Amino acid sequence: MKRIFEIDPWHITTDKFSIENRRLQESMTSLGNEYMGMRGFFEEDYSGDSLPGIYIGGVWFPDKTRVGWWKNGYPEYFGKVINALNFIKINTLINGHHLDLAKDTITDFKLDLDMKQGLLTRSFILVRGDLRIGFKFQRFLSLAQKELSAQQVTVTNLSAKSVVLELQASLDADVVNEDSNYGDHFWNVTQQVAHETTGYMATETIPNNFGTPRFTLGVGMTNQVQGLHAEAAKTSDLEVTNDFNGQLAPNATVVLDKKVIVTTSRDYETDQLQSKTEALLAKVSGASFAQLLAAHAQAWAQRWQISDIQIQGDAEAQQGIRFNLFQLFSTYYGEDKRLNIGPKGFTGEKYGGATYWDTEAFALPVYLGISDPKVARHLLEYRHQQLPGAVHNAQQQGLKGALYPMVTFNGIENHNEWEITFEEIHRNGTIAYAIYNYTRYTGDDSYLKTQGIDVLVGIARFWADRVHYSKRRQKYVIHGVTGPNEYENNVNNNWYTNLLAQWTLKYTLATLPKVSSDKAAQLQVSSEEAQHWQDIIANIYLGVDEETGVFIQNDDFFDKDIRPASSLKPEERPINQHWSWDKVLRSPFIKQADVLQGIWYFIDDFDMATKKRNFDFYEPLTVHESSLSPSVHAILAADLNEDDKAVEMYARTARLDLDNYNNDTEDGLHITSMTGAWLAIVQGFAGMRIRDGKLHFKPFLPKQWTAYQFRVLFRGRLIEVNVDATGTTLKLRQGEPLTVDLAGDSLNLTREDR
């Protein structure tokens, strides 16, 4: 655990400039507006260690798969989000010498991410001999105008003599990805235009051999400065610069406003990008930084109005939940259904910015609770639209039906580790489960009956082909898989995978009679096929240990040398960073919720004794080395009235990145796990469930807290839940009256309860 920012309810803030923690600071001060996002790297050149990164939603490159030993069925390419051109660059020179925080002496440093407004501010005083120059850099990515990046730099001469100040505002295409195979450039510059105070650059992704689309970005900037002289614009091979310089007298201040518009060939024809960019720049160029910020902050205020969770009595928990929601919404707010939620969002290169099962498992329930239902529906439509890719993936493995990918941009599997690509097929079950989750929450079965059923039938056909019948066991079994616990590979009968296979077949069969006759004719599920599915449902093997009554995570699991994670020495953890892979695989330690993931999905289908047996067995073995894990354990612990355990797990999920629990936040934030804190509070502490279309709560108040409050959207209503030492109050803030269940009591909520 490492904490480098102050505890503050709305800010991620520090007054410590830290060269050794720079990457960590960059990750945590990332900004995004779904359309694009960036790490908190500096505007000016910085010679210290840093991972600069600006990423544009949906813009990626297929990098050739490179593996030591090729296996048939591997994807040909690994899609990765590519570092776009650096459009925030503003190099700064004082008396001809570059400002470089790795080398310069500074005082009064302050770095602040204001989560309420989505604004990043950095200020400090540069000290060189008897010179003292104050700097303030501010920036945001607008929610009001998605293509807009707005920056302001304020420079004040605090010394007794004049200095020469030079500000170089650039668009710089000389960028690479740290994770590329050969340090290659992924962009060709196709157009450069420069005037004194404006510039434009178009870049196109380099050709690829895989037939995936190339992307073009059109990036324009306009720079306004009072009090400095604008030089003739400069261009070099990879850069366009507006250069401003002049004397800065004692006490004088200069303010540079840099506005950048980014357009892409995802939205416009390539030959229109320049005119579109210029039109959008013209639209914003008359507005001041403060005006643009006000419109942006207003949009954040609307999001917070629904989604904010207030926690009294625990400042760390309060900051944690806001940070998580801020970063989650910065990554995705459902405006563009062609986009999805990468595990690192726009905060790093790892996981390639691609779509994982994380979205359906962990993000969808959160968006259902605190955003318009169209957002969750967009996530579902994204998968429907990628169904042909999933069919292709199944064919690659010689199987029928649809296998949704573990990692993708376009539906085609992108992952190239055999134990994941070929084996981690449980992901397919979650894609199906999400359709059920949406339908259950919203009460809207229109997606299920039109597009969802296409997905379900595809997945059901995959499962029906992937199981085989074991004559010895007289059961259907699934061999050669990796469950959510990636610390065991090529196992047989992962309980969770088998459960999801069985459930998908059941749910698909139950849905088929509800679809239109046209749809049914199109799907062509014959009665023999349905009969086969029924047979699998009735006879699939789901292991239960005779002695303990615990669900067997996978065959042979109980032969392991079972000992609790608490027996590990602190210096051995995380085990994936300290042990050989062989040792990890043979150990009983579980990376993330596996059996418990299944119990969470169907939490009402298991009795308390069963849930407790499994939780008590698996929780001590779980090392939570996937950030996705603690929230599931928090919800189950709360369900079992193990409040302290629930709170412990909440703390791990809510402050995972803020406290760098897994020692890897410098690579980027765990965006898909940002959902965990919300899930732990709402499904965990407050016990929210949907049963037969009715909303249920069963809240408890963590000992460390004095009160908490949150709001959820449910079928056209906005419901506020307040929990404090005196009990729970529910208020209907918007919508028609509604009956909800509070710890067994039926309550009629009307607007008068306000």
Q: Which residues bind ligand BGC (CB under 6 A)?
A: 343, 351, 356-358, 484, 486, 591-592, 626, 628, 672
Which is it for strands 36-38 and 54-56: parallel, antiparallel or unpaired?
Answer: antiparallel
Where is 220: in which H helix or E strand? strand 216-225
Q: Alpha helix locations (H) across 606-692?
A: 608-618, 629-639, 643-654, 675-679
Q: Are 555 and 492 in contact (CB under 8 A)?
A: yes
The least distance separating ligand BGC from the CB of residue 356, rounded to whole angstroms, comes to 4
CA neighbours closer than 13 Å in the CB half-sphere of residue 475: 12
Rounded Cα distance, 86 and 266, in Å: 19
Which amino acid appears at position 209 of this protein?
N
C-beta atoms surrounding 251 within 10 Å: 10
Rounded Cα distance, 543 and 495, in Å: 6
The least distance separating ligand BGC from the CB of residue 676, rounded to whole angstroms, comes to 11
Q: Are 378 and 386 in contact (CB under 8 A)?
A: no
Q: Are 669 and 30 in contact (CB under 8 A)?
A: yes
Comparing CB distances to ligand BGC, the nearer of 99 and 635 is 635
**635, 607, 626: which is closest to 365 by C-alpha?**
635
Q: Concatenate the DSSP letters of all residues of 274-298 into one string.
A: HHHHHHHHHHHHTS-HHHHHHHHHH
Sole residue written with tokens 């906005």: 718
Comparing CB distances to ligand BGC, the nearer of 91 and 489 is 489
C-beta atoms surrounding 21 within 10 Å: 18
The least distance separating ligand BGC from the CB of residue 351, rounded to whole angstroms, comes to 6
Q: Are 224 and 256 in contact (CB under 8 A)?
A: yes
Sole residue written with tokens 């006879």: 539
Catalytic, out of 486, 488, 619, 625: 486
Q: Are 135 and 52 in contact (CB under 8 A)?
A: no
Q: Check whether 592 is labelled as a binding-site residue.
A: yes
Which is it for strands 253-264 and 119-128: parallel, antiparallel or unpaired?
Answer: unpaired
Q: Check whether 357 is labelled as a binding-site residue.
A: yes
Comparing CB distances to ligand BGC, the nearer of 353 and 458 is 353
Q: How much of the chain is in helix, strand and coil states, percent to nearest 5?
A: 35, 25, 40
Q: Is 561 exposed, middle or buried (0-12, 13-18, 19+ CB in 10 A)?
A: exposed
Residue number of the CB atom closest to ligand BGC:
343
Comparing CB distances to ligand BGC, the nearer of 170 and 327 is 327
Comparing CB distances to ligand BGC, the nearer of 324 and 672 is 672
Q: Is 212 exposed, middle or buried (0-12, 13-18, 19+ CB in 10 A)?
A: middle
Q: Are 665 and 654 in contact (CB under 8 A)?
A: no
Rounded Cα distance, 294 and 314, in Å: 30
Which amino acid appears at position 321 of this protein?
I
Question: Which are the contacts of 408, defined by CB distance < 8 A and separation ≥ 6?
Answer: 79, 354, 355, 386, 389, 414
Which amino acid appears at position 685 of this protein?
F
- The dihedral region occupied by 662, where left means phi > 0, alpha psi between -120 and 50, and beta the remainder, is alpha
The least distance separating ligand BGC from the CB of residue 21, rounded to whole angstroms, comes to 23
The least distance separating ligand BGC from the CB of residue 420, rounded to whole angstroms, comes to 9
Comparing CB distances to ligand BGC, the nearer of 525 and 585 is 585
Comparing CB distances to ligand BGC, the nearer of 353 and 373 is 353
Sole residue written with tokens 């994380």: 358
The least distance separating ligand BGC from the CB of residue 573, rounded to whole angstroms, comes to 15
End-to-end CA distance of the chain: give it in Å, rounded.
42
The least distance separating ligand BGC from the CB of residue 486, rounded to whole angstroms, comes to 5
Comparing CB distances to ligand BGC, the nearer of 25 and 626 is 626
Output the CA–CA distances (angstroms, integers) from residue 254 to 164, 208, 214, 257, in the order listed.
Answer: 12, 45, 41, 10
- Known active-site residue 6: no
Q: Concatenate the DSSP letters of all residues of 167-184 into one string.
A: EEEEEE-----TTSSSS-
Question: Which are the contacts of 380, defined by CB distance < 8 A and separation ≥ 6?
Answer: 364, 434, 435, 438, 447, 451, 452
Phi and psi angles of residue 471, each rounded to the nearest 5 degrees, phi first: -65, -35
Comparing CB distances to ligand BGC, the nearer of 87 and 362 is 362
Which amino acid appears at position 169 of this protein?
A
Comparing CB distances to ligand BGC, the nearer of 152 and 324 is 324
C-beta atoms surrounding 559 within 10 Å: 8
Comparing CB distances to ligand BGC, the nearer of 239 and 594 is 594
Residue 378's SS3 state is helix
Partners of 125 in beta bridges: 107, 134
Comparing CB distances to ligand BGC, the nearer of 318 and 437 is 437
Kindly list the catalytic residues.
486
Pick out the residues of the known binding site for substrate. 357-358, 591-592
Pick out the residues of the known binding site. 357-358, 591-592
